[in-house]
Amino acid sequence: MQRNWIGRSTGAEIEFQVEGGPSITVFTTRADTLFGCTFMSLAVEHPAALELARTGGNEAEVLAFIERIRDQEATERAQGKDGVFTGCFAINPINGARVPVYLANFVLMDYGTGAVMAVPAHDQRDFEFATAFDIPIVRVIAPAKGADTTVPADAAFEEDGTLFDSGDFSGLDSATARARIADRLVTENLGRKVVHYRLRDWGISRQRYWGAPLPVVYCDKCGILPVPEADLPVVLPTDVQLPEGGRSPLSDMDAFVNTKCPGCDADARRERILWIRSLSRLGTFFVTRALIATISPSIRRPLRAGCRWPNTSGGSSTPCCTCCIRDFSRECSVISDS
C-alpha cells in the first residue's frame, strides 16, 4: 500500500478525430495494441458525450443511458458491460480505420481522460463488451517466440508479445513498439507521452496490530529524520508479545526501536507511535490550522521561547504553534505574517 497508493501509469495520450465532431483524447499504457483498436468507449460523464449524441443523431437513447448509469456506484458500474452507440465514428490515427464511439458503464472519469481506445483482442473488459455488442475483434499481438504462452480463443490475450498486422511496427516486441509508436504519434502531432497518477482514497493498513508504522527516526545529533525511500515500507515485527492493559508492545522491542540514523549512522530510535493512534492528533492539527487562518493578523505574534502546547491526556507537552488559539497573549512565529 505504501508503495502503490498513488497509482502511477506511464503511457501516451492519443488524439482520435470524430467525423464531424470533436477530437477525443484517450490515455493508454498499451500503445503497442493501437492497430487492434476497433471501437472507442467513453464515460457517461465525459464532456463530449452530449455533443456526440447530437452529432450522431442518437440523442434520446444516449441521454436515457446517461441518466441510468451516472447515479450508479463505481462498484456497480464495474459489474457488467453495458453501453450505447453514440452514432459517431472516429478515426484511428495510426491506420486511418473508422471506429464506432460508444458510451460504456465501466469507463470512469477519474482515471486517464475518461475515454478509452478499446482493443478487445488484448483487453478483457473490451473483449466482453465487443462480444456483447458484436464488434470486430482484431488480434495484433502474438506470444513472443519461445514463450510458454497460448492465445485463448474465448478471451483477450493481455500479455506482452510480438506485433503482427501492425504496419511498420510488425515484428517488434511490445516494449519497443510502445516507445516507437508513441514517438510516431508525437512526430505527427497526434499524441504525447505522459505519466498519469490515480490517487486513491487514503487508507491505513493496521499491519496486524496497533496501526501502520510512521517512517520516522530520532537521532540525538541530527534530530527527526524520515526513513530513506529505499528502506520503505517500514514493516512491523511479527515476534511480539502483547502486554496486558492495552499498551503498545513496540516500546519493549529493542530490535525494532533501535536503528541507525540515515544522516550520520549513529545510534537512533524509530518512532513507536503508529498511524491509528496519530490520526486524532492529525485531525486536531488541521482543524487548528484552519482556525488560525481566521485569526485577525493584528493579534498574531512571534513565538515566545519555550512556547508549548499542553498535552491534555496528561503526558508531556509537545511544541506546537496552536497554543496561540488558547492564549492570544502568547507569541508564535510559525503563523506570523512574515
Question: Cα 313 vs. chain centroid, distance in angstroms?
Answer: 37
Mean pLDDT over 306-328 rounds to 41
Tens of pLDDT along 156-207?
A: 999 999 999 999 999 999 999 999 999 999 999 999 999 877 666 655 555 4
Does the structural domain 8-197 have CATH classification 3.40.50.300?
A: no
Domain spans of the chain?
8-197, 204-294, 295-338
For residues 264 and 240, the model is more confident at 264
Question: Cα 260 vs. chain centroid, distance in angstroms?
Answer: 33
The pLDDT value recorded for residue 16 is 98
Say if CB 74 and CB 45 are below 8 A apart. Answer: no
pLDDT surpassing 70 at residue 332: no
SS3 193: strand
Lowest pLDDT segment from 15-24, 25-34, 192-201, 251-260:
192-201
The secondary structure element, H or E, covering residue 117 is strand 115-118
- Amino acid, single-letter form, for residue 122: H
Tens of pLDDT along 6-16?
A: 677 889 999 99
pTM higher than the cut 0.85: no
Lowest pLDDT segment from 40-54, 222-236, 256-270:
222-236
Say if CB 86 and CB 56 are below 8 A apart. Answer: yes
* CB neighbour class for 316 (10 Å; exposed up to 12, middle 13-18, buried from 19): exposed
